């Protein structure tokens, strides 16, 4: 047994009164974020100084005396808003120093953003969940009706309350649980994150990403075309927007479920799991690909593989500096420069005559390199 932190997400059904308070908390959290972001920027401009979290925190206490309405909402929500701003700030400067320009500067939050959330913390039984009655108790809100489809036993650490673009409300709980590890597995596997398929393994297994959601994506495109003909801000426009948001949610759910199935299977069957480093993969540009979608799936899959490996005592290792994984023959190590061309799916090694499927060959190379990295190669 091992203590791990697991996430549980449930839909909640707040009353009108509760909705009002939740929306107010979203607003206050956003206010705190924007207020201190502006202050940080100003202070840096005028005095080249930074503002620490503890300084912000004591300023927030002062601010609450001045703006009484901030006291009406969950105090943890405001503190966490400040903490998250601070983290975003630190991440930006840390990555910037390293020369990584992907990490954006923290942004001001807009009222118009259709995804809203705040996070609260557990203390003195301020949060409780009742699986029998299907309800959850949250700070300031008291009991809210909740669809508790998955039970857990453990200690709740924090809860994020969110409203998604279709208008539905959710809670995401971080729970400290006891986890029973999977028995040790005997296999090792290399994973090639594919362009046309989501994933190809060194065993030759292919996992798809798009087929499951293809019909919904076509429907989505149709709904979006219809939306473009409606007058922005009108009643019908808004109705259509919600329809689109609901379909988006459905597609995302199917996709994430699929990724869970894949990552669970891989972790169950293998003791050593190897993949490429995504920063390298990201350099490949393919205009034909709905790249953002594929990227999101890759990152989510890696995230799941990482934590599931950790929970079950697996070794998940990223192979880096592996630009040429598809060009090298896994049998004789001959480097075939022609394979740079992404349209070549199958090739025969001119040196040893082995016939290759491009992606399977790449994943075998990843497996071999991973085993070498960990000095497990025989």
Which of 50, 351, 376, 377: binder of Zn ion (CB under 5 A)? Answer: 351
CB nearer to Zn ion: pick between 56 and 364 = 364
Per CB under 5 A, 349 contacts Zn ion: yes
Minimum CB–partner distance for residue 173 and Zn ion (Å): 52
Sole window of 20-28, 195-203, 245-253, 351-359 interacting with Zn ion (rule: CB under 5 A): 351-359
Minimum CB–partner distance for residue 333 and Zn ion (Å): 7
Minimum CB–partner distance for residue 212 and Zn ion (Å): 36
Q: Residue 75: what are its φ and ψ, rounded to 5°?
A: -65, -30
DSSP SS3 for 138: strand
Per CB under 5 A, 198 contacts Zn ion: no
Contact 266, 189 (CB under 8 A): yes
Sole window of 79-87, 187-195, 205-213, 342-350 interacting with Zn ion (rule: CB under 5 A): 342-350
Site residues (CB under 5 A) for Zn ion, limited to 72-131 = none
CB nearer to Zn ion: pick between 170 and 334 = 334
Torsion of CA 207, 208, 213, 215, to 10 degrees: -140
Burial class (CB in 10 A: 0-12, 13-18, 19+), 315: middle
Is 276 among the residues known to form the active site?
yes
Which of 158, 205, 306, 331: binder of Zn ion (CB under 5 A)? Answer: 331
Q: How far apart are CA 173 and CA 156, in angstroms?
A: 7
Per CB under 5 A, 346 contacts Zn ion: no
Provide the 10 A C-beta neighbour count for residue 1. Answer: 8
Minimum CB–partner distance for residue 355 and Zn ion (Å): 10
> At which residue do the structure tokens 């080249």 appear?
48
Contact 200, 360 (CB under 8 A): yes
DSSP string, 240-294: HHHHHHHHHHHHHHHHHHHHHHHHHHHHHHEEEEEEE-HHHHTT---TTS-HHHH
> At which residue do the structure tokens 């003195």 appear?
124
Sole window of 75-83, 85-93, 272-280, 352-360 interacting with Zn ion (rule: CB under 5 A): 352-360
Is 68 among the residues known to form the active site?
no
CB within 8 Å of 127: residues ≥ 6 apart: 120, 136, 137, 138, 139, 156, 159
Of the listed 249, 276, 337, 373, which one is catalytic?
276
CB nearer to Zn ion: pick between 224 and 333 = 333
CB nearer to Zn ion: pick between 175 and 329 = 329
Minimum CB–partner distance for residue 348 and Zn ion (Å): 9
Per CB under 5 A, 329 contacts Zn ion: yes
CB nearer to Zn ion: pick between 127 and 329 = 329
Minimum CB–partner distance for residue 362 and Zn ion (Å): 14
Of the listed 20, 192, 337, 375, which one is catalytic?
192
Is 192 among the residues known to form the active site?
yes
Q: How far apart are CA 230 and CA 221, in angstroms?
A: 15
Here's the x/- map for Zn ion, 53-72, by CB under 5 A: it reads as: --------------------
Minimum CB–partner distance for residue 354 and Zn ion (Å): 5
Q: How far apart are CA 177 and CA 198, in angstroms?
A: 31
CB nearer to Zn ion: pick between 126 and 354 = 354
Size of the site for Zn ion (CB under 5 A): 8
For residue 24, the cross-strand partners are: none
Of the listed 68, 217, 249, 359, which one is catalytic?
359
Alpha helices in the chain (DSSP H): 16-47, 53-66, 75-97, 214-228, 235-269, 278-281, 291-311, 358-373
Per CB under 5 A, 332 contacts Zn ion: yes
Per CB under 5 A, 352 contacts Zn ion: yes
**DSSP label of 99:** T
Minimum CB–partner distance for residue 347 and Zn ion (Å): 10
Per CB under 5 A, 348 contacts Zn ion: no
Q: Residue 53: what are its φ and ψ, rounded to 5°?
A: -65, -45
Closest CA to 162 of 284, 277, 22, 36: 22
Residues that bind Zn ion (CB under 5 A): 329, 331-332, 334, 349, 351-352, 354
Active site residues: 192, 276, 359
């Amino acid at each position: 047994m091992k203590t791990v932190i697991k996430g549980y997400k449930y839909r909640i059904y707040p009353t009108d009164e509760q909705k009002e308070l939740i929306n107010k908390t979203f607003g206050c959290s956003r206010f705190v974020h924007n207020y201190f972001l502006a202050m940080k920027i100003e202070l840096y401009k005028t005095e080249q100084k930074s503002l620490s979290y503890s300084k912000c925190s004591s300023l927030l206490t002062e601010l609450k005396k001045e703006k009484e309405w901030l006291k009406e909402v969950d105090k943890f929500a405001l503190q966490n808003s400040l903490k998250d701003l601070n983290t975003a700030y630190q991440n930006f400067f840390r990555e910037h120093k390293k020369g990584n320009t992907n990490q954006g500067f923290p942004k001001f939050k807009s009222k118009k953003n259709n995804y809203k959330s705040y996070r609260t913390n557990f203390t003195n039984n301020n949060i409780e969940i009742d699986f029998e009655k299907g309800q959850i108790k949250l700070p300031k809100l008291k009991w809210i009706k909740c669809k508790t489809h998955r039970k857990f036993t453990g200690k709740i650490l924090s809860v994020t309350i969110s409203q998604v673009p279709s208008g539905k409300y959710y809670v995401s709980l971080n729970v400290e649980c006891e986890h029973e590890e999977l028995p040790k597995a005997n296999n090792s596997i290399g994973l090639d994150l594919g362009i046309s398929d989501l994933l190809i393994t060194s065993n030759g297994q292919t996992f798809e990403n798009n087929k499951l959601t293809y019909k919904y994506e076509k429907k989505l495109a149709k709904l979006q075309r219809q939306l473009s003909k409606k007058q922005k801000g009108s009643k019908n426009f808004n109705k259509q927007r919600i329809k689109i948001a609901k379909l988006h949610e459905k597609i995302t759910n199917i996709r994430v479920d699929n990724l869970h199935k894949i990552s669970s299977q891989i972790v169950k069957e293998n003791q050593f799991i190897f993949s490429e480093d995504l920063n390298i993969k990201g350099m490949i540009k393919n205009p034909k690909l709905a790249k953002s979608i594929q990227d999101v799936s890759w990152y989510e899959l890696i995230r799941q593989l990482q934590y599931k490996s950790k929970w079950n005592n697996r070794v998940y290792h990223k192979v880096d500096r592996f630009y040429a994984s598809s060009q090298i023959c896994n049998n004789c190590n001959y480097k075939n420069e022609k394979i740079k061309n992404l349209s070549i799916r199958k090739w025969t090694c001119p040196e040893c005559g082995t016939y290759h499927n491009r992606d399977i060959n790449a994943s075998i190379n990843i497996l071999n390199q991973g085993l070498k990295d960990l000095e497990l190669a025989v």
